[in-house]
């Protein structure tokens, strides 16, 4: 089991960029780095999964695909659900940045939103509750996870997934 770390060993993508390409991918993403800017709403998680799947295909990281898709889905869902700016008001869409970084031994999945609300995994609670398990799932699938504050506002929640094949127990 990994524990959340703060401050994070990775600096994260920083503030949300002002522009993207027509497909939504971030310009200037280097080799081993891919980013997608999303507008919160019902389609955000699906777009994030499709993007992650394409990137992992390009990087030939089939062994981490299933875990990465779940982690990205949970992080993006949390950002869309909880990531509204305090002044945006009810019903406003949130802006979310998904960033994937490939390293020798791990894949970094990071999601940035503009909210100041820090992530906290739910502990306990009613066993029939529908929500509140996302960060516990992220914790279970990742080697490490944590968050980093962004300046001037917001945060990045990240998870490191091992890229070596898992040995069956």
The pLDDT profile of the chain, 169 residues, written as one tens digit per residue, is 443 443 333 333 334 433 333 344 444 445 789 999 998 777 899 999 999 999 999 999 999 999 999 999 999 999 988 776 444 555 556 789 999 999 989 999 999 998 888 787 766 555 555 566 788 899 999 999 999 998 888 999 999 999 986 655 5
Would residue 65 count as lying in a domain? yes
Question: How many domains, in total, are found in the chain?
Answer: 1
pLDDT value of position 90: 55
pLDDT value of position 125: 57
pTM, rounded to two decimals: 0.74
Residues near 55 by beta carbon (within 8 Å), at least 6 away in sequence: 34, 100
Would residue 28 count as lying in a domain? no
Would residue 131 count as lying in a domain? yes
Would residue 21 count as lying in a domain? no
pLDDT value of position 129: 54
Give the CATH number, domain containing residue 40. Answer: 3.30.565.10
Compute the distance between CA of residue 135 and CA of residue 129 in angstroms, rounded to an integer: 14
- The dihedral built from the CA positions of residue 124, 114, 77 and 13, taken in this order, carries a sign that is negative
The answer to whether the beta carbons of residues 52 and 68 sit under 8 Å apart is yes
Would residue 167 count as lying in a domain? no
pLDDT value of position 127: 59
Would residue 111 count as lying in a domain? yes
List the 33-39 sheet strands across, edge first. Answer: 4-5, 144-149, 155-162, 106-113, 95-102, 33-39
Would residue 16 count as lying in a domain? no
Quickly count: other Cβ atoms within 10 Å of residue 65's Cβ. 15
Would residue 27 count as lying in a domain? no
| Residue among 3, 6, 16 nearest 111 (CA) | 16
Range of the domain at 59: 4-9+34-162
């Amino acid at each position: 089991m990994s524990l959340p770390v703060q401050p994070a060993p990775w600096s994260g993508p920083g503030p949300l960029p002002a522009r993207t390409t027509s497909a939504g991918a971030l310009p200037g993403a280097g080799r081993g780095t891919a980013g997608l800017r999303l507008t919160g709403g019902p389609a955000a998680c699906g777009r994030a999964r499709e993007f992650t799947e394409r990137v992992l295909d390009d990087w030939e990281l089939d062994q981490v695909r299933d875990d990465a898709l779940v982690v990205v889905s949970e992080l993006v869902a949390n950002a869309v659900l909880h990531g509204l700016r305090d002044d945006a008001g009810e019903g406003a869409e949130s802006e979310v940045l998904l960033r994937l970084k490939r390293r020798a031994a791990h894949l970094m999945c990071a999601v940035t939103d503009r909210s100041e609300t820090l992530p906290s995994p739910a502990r306990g609670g009613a066993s029939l509750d529908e929500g509140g398990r996302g960060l516990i799932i992220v914790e279970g699938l990742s080697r490490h996870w944590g968050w980093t504050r962004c300046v001037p506002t917001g945060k990045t929640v990240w998870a490191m997934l091992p890229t070596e094949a898992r040995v069956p127990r």
